[in-house]
Amino acid sequence: MNRLKLLNLLCFLFLLLIFVVFQYFVDFDVLNNRSKPWHLDKGDSLSQTYLNKYKITNQLSLQQDLVDDISYPLVLILVDAWGVSYKEYQMEKEFDFFDKKNKREVLHKRLTEFTRYAELSEYKLESMRGLYLFGGDSLEYERSSYIKDLGYETHLFCQKCGDDVMLNFVDSVLNSQDIPDVIALTTQSSRGGDKDSLHNSLKQIADLAYKHSDITFVVQGTHRPILCPAKIREQYYQHWVPVVMVNLK
Amino acid sequence: MKQCITIRAIGLNLVFLLLYIFLGSCITASLDDFFMSSVLTGAYGAEYDVHLYFVNATYGFFLKPFYWLCPRIGWYYIFEVLEVFASFSVFTYFLLKKVDKLKGLLLSLLLLASFSPVFYFQLDFTKNAALLTASGILLIFFGEKNKKVFIVAGVLMLVAGFVMRKEAFLLGMPYIGILLLIGYFKEKRLSKEPVIGILISFVIIAILFFFNRSLYQNNEYQYYAEYQNPRAVFVDGNYYDSDATLDEIVELGKHGLDYSMLKDWTFYDTEIFSRDSLQQYLNIIERNKYDISWTKMPFAIFGEIALSFQEQNVWCWAFFAFLLTLFAKKCGFIVWSSLLVVIISFIYLLEQNRNIIYVEHAIWMYATVFLIPFLQEDSLNSIKISISNSFILFSFAIALFGLGFWNTPNYLKNSLFKEKSKNDALWEDFFAYEVQQQNEVFFMEYHPYKSFARRLSGSYKALAKGRLNKIFPLGYWNVYLPGMIAALKENGIKNPMQSLTNSNVRVIQYNDVDLYQKYYRLHLNRNIEYETIPFTSQSGFDMMNYNMIRYYGIKDEIEKN
């Protein structure tokens, strides 16, 4: 038997042995999990920089998680299609729009990627007076009915109103004598995944928060941009959204 | 001597055929086969129909004379069994021809014992296509020179492989390439006979392919065929993130119910789930495809191959490969190339995220059969076969067969090996009910429809014409079959999902009733009520609860009272 042949035989036997041993270590369920195939899943865990830099909250609704830090009146803003970018400097830039004083930056895990889910999980009211604002049609997405179910006694829909209009409205409410416990606003100028309009909205929100430095603002993304070209969507973590809290007590 | 080899090959295979006939339940493992044979005999509609869709219509034309002679016999099934028998006989013939008497006999025994349980007991057209293709390749490339009978038989089997299922036929194509290359490098030119054989086969295959395609164009079968691909994306496709797809659908302002129903095989609504209206979902799915992680892929392939070693037939490949690497001259290449083809096939399956066991069986069968012609007599001379050696190998083969039989699902074994299930009893009650209620029409959801078909598929018997003319699926691959549409029309139904409230319609379902209540509210703006119709004393069988439901609109109720 020549050397080459021996080598061939050894290779073959070695491979066979590995296969046989390996089958006891392969988790069949992992490999054949239809809903989340292991080899097609690039992973959705945050980078180490993110983990070190920001507070991380999991899946629970934010209000539940941070109940001790929140004081009323409270402005809750869901920024549509604001996701956590794979580019860390972009996230930093977006957080930096907000004033540094009494601020907390959080990355929050949210497994479902539609706006209604974010609203249902974040806008819950518990025996408080709430005002809900939205710059769009009340019938769309059956919004008026589920917002009512959440317990908001007043809601205001303003057809085709941009974020600036709605934020002005928040401003005037905050300037008034009778401020509700919770003011909830869902923005939608950035819905299509356009970065510039997102930054625009964030800046306006930051300005408003700066102006009313005695009122706590919780500003968070609904989900990563999804109604946009796939290329843009792929720049964001699938199941993470940024949250910034300013003017904490 | 050659006569003797043929007789021995057939004799040995008869043993395994008889084992199957006595131990098996003699039904096809794949329900697709059952439903294709029901299309063939006109169980929907009233005509013999060759539009099998997955299998080339040629098979239907081939079987026609047999059904004409004896229409009550399940020729579709019988010929599938014969295909397995013929293919394994070819494999055994080549093994016996290449390897000496006792050794050859033992190796054949090993091959048959490890592979036949899977291919006989779990009979289905996909695996058959692979078997026929493999034996065609053997006959064309390794048949005796200057004997036309080998080439002719090889061409016929190769074509038959294509006819049974073209995808499984394609899995064998890399081996044709490798064999042509080997032939070329050995003789510095392409030998004439195999090339001619392959070319003739490909011409015939091309003709059959276009002929079959023409049967689904510009006629009533066009919509039926066009519906298949999108349907498969929803119910079989696993290459996209379904949760993200649903989220995007909801975010777009559509109701998620329709998509969930599509995924759950409930889609026989000619308007809401028409071919055109599926396109909007297909576009969203396209945006939510998984990306392959190429760093994880090698491990996934490795893992898949390692897992294959839990199947007894892969051990036959390993044994043949071991013999080749140990004894044969210059055959290391053969073993590694067979493994390479396996890897390529697995990459394809993993990319689709559809690792189906029967395709994996076909892949390993190809790899094993490819090794057979290289097991040369003279190179194996150095092995001495003693009585104890052969006894060990014989016991090993028996053990593999036993293991294969043990792993066979119970419903595919002879009734001696299984208890009569409550499931069977339930369908007996249903058959009795069906006979009494002549004017009622039954819609079945996916689960009960399959369970029902399983009960109905009898060995050797064909379904009578029009047998299923009152029983329809609410979503299966055979929806929009012209025969089914005609049968629905006969019962005054145009759109099944929107006819649930017809007074003669009964729904046999597994899902909650509120699924259809929601559906009717959403799409038809109607509130519907229901009552459960008791038709059996059986309940809670096999962990599933099927109920027979009659739906009626609120207005209908007023009329009823």
Express each pLDDT in B104-159 by its tens digit. 899 999 999 999 999 999 999 999 999 999 999 999 999 888 788 999 999 999 99
Cβ contact A39–B307 (<8 Å): no
Contact between B293 and A112 using a beta-carbon 8 Å cutoff: no
Q: What is the mean pLDDT of residues B177-184?
A: 90
pLDDT digits (tens, 9 = 90+) for B190-221: 778 899 999 999 999 999 999 999 999 989 99
Is A224 an 8 Å CB contact of chain B? Answer: no
What are the chain B neighbours of A8 within 8 Å (beta carbons)? 325, 332
Closest by Cβ to A23, choosing from B247, B307, B321:
B307
Residue that is written with structure tokens 């302002």 in the block = B253
Instruction: Look at residue B561 in the predicted model and tell me its pLDDT.
Output: 41
- For A9, which of B299, B310, B325 is closest by C-beta distance? B325
> Where residue A66 falls among pLDDT bands split at 50, 70, 90?
low
What value does the mean pLDDT take over residues A163-185?
91
Nearest C-alpha of chain A: how many angstroms from B315?
10
In the block, residue with structure tokens 């032939």: B183
Helix (H) or strand (E) holding B551: strand B547-553
The pair of three-digit structure tokens given for residue B442, joined into one six-digit string: 């039954």
Which amino acid appears at position A5 of this protein? Answer: K
What percent of chain B clears pLDDT 90, i.e. is strictly above it?
Answer: 60
d(CA B171, CA B174): 7
Q: What pLDDT digit, counting tens, does each position of B451-510 carry?
A: 899 888 776 888 989 999 999 999 999 999 999 999 999 999 999 999 999 999 999 988
Average pLDDT over chain B reads 89
- pLDDT single digits (tens) B390-433: 888 889 899 999 999 988 888 888 877 777 777 778 888 889 89
Residue B560: pLDDT above 50? Answer: no
Interval B278-289 mean pLDDT = 93
Average pLDDT, chain A: 86
Inter-chain touch B293–A41, beta carbons under 8 Å: yes
Hey, of B235, B242, B250, B251, which one would you mutate to test binding to chain A, going by the most A CBs within 10 A of its CB? B251
Cα–Cα distance measured from residue B376 to residue B115, given in angstroms and rounded to the nearest whole number = 21
Residue B224, pLDDT score = 95
- B279 phi, psi to nearest 5 deg: -60, -40
Residue B86 pLDDT > 90, yes or no?
A: yes
Measured between beta carbons, the chain A residues lying within 8 angstroms of B349 are none
| Complex prediction ipTM | 0.89
Do B353 and A40 make contact, defined as CB atoms within 8 angstroms?
yes
Which residues does B441 contact at the CB level (< 8 Å), separation at least 6? Answer: B470, B471, B472, B491, B493, B502, B504, B505, B506
Of B231 and A99, more confident: B231
Between the CA of residue A244 and those of B92, B349, B394, what are the distances in Å? 72, 44, 72
- Nearest by CB to residue A226, choosing from B242, B251, B302, is B251
**Which residues 66-105 on chain A approach chain B with CB closer than 8 angstroms?**
none
Chain A CB contacts of B343 below 8 Å: none
Residue A193 confidence (pLDDT) above 90: no
Chain A residues within an 8 Å CB radius of B303: 22, 26, 31
What pLDDT sits at residue B541?
47
Query: What is the rounded CA–CA span in Å between residue B245 and residue A230?
Result: 12
**Which one has a higher pLDDT value, B25 or A43?**
B25
Q: What is the pLDDT of residues B506-548, one digit of tens each?
A: 999 888 888 999 999 999 988 999 988 887 776 654 445 788 8
Mean pLDDT of A188-214: 92
Q: How far is A118 from chain B (nearest CA, A)?
A: 11
- Residue A59 pLDDT class (50, 70, 90 cuts): low
* Cis peptide preceding A37, ω within 30 of 0: no
Out of B97-106, B257-266, B473-482, which region has the weakest mean confidence (pLDDT)?
Answer: B97-106
Beta strands in A103-153 (DSSP E): 104-109, 130-134
pLDDT for the residue A67: 64
Are B303 and A26 inside 8 Å of each other by CB? yes
Task: Using an 8 Å CB-CB cutoff, list chain A residues near B287.
Answer: 230, 233
CB atoms B299 and A39 under 8 Å: yes
- The 3-state DSSP class for residue B288 equals coil
Alpha-carbon distances, residue B94 vs A182, B87, B398 (angstroms): 82, 11, 21
Which of B53-57, B60-64, B419-423 bottoms out in mean pLDDT, i.e. has the lowest? B419-423
CB within 8 Å of chain B, chain A residues 103-132: 111-117
Dump pLDDT digits (tens) for B217-244. 989 999 999 999 999 999 988 889 999 9
Which residues on neighbouring strands pair with residue B550, listed in sequence order?
B531
Query: How far is A101 from chain B, CA to nearest CA, in Å?
Result: 35
Q: Answer for the pair B265, B235: CB distance below 8 angstroms, yes or no.
A: yes
What does the pLDDT read at residue A102? 84
Of A31, A41, A227, the CB nearest to B251: A227
Please say if the pLDDT value at position A62 is more than 70: no
**Nearest Cβ partner for A39 among B252, B296, B318:** B296
Q: Decide if A18 and B296 are in contact by the 8 Å CB cutoff.
A: no
**Is the pLDDT score of A22 beyond 70?**
yes
Whether residues A227 and B300 touch (CB distance < 8 A) is answered with no
Residue A76 has pLDDT above 70, yes or no: yes
* Min Cα–Cα distance to chain B from A160, Å: 16
Q: Quick one: tokens of B542?
A: 């096999």
| B79 neighbors B63 (Cβ within 8 angstroms) | yes
Please indicate if any CB of chain A lies within 8 Å of the CB of B302.
Answer: yes
Residue A141 near chain B (CB below 8 Å): yes
Mutate to test the interface with B, among A7, A10, A12 (most CBs of B within 10 A): A12
> pLDDT band at A1, cuts 50/70/90?
low
Taking alpha carbons only, the member of B67, B100, B93, B88 closest to residue B130 is B88
Contact B353 A20 (CB under 8 A): no
Cα→Cα distances A50→A87, B63, B143, Å: 10, 66, 66
B443 - beta bridge partners? B472, B507
Residue type, B461: K
> For residue B188, is pLDDT > 80?
no
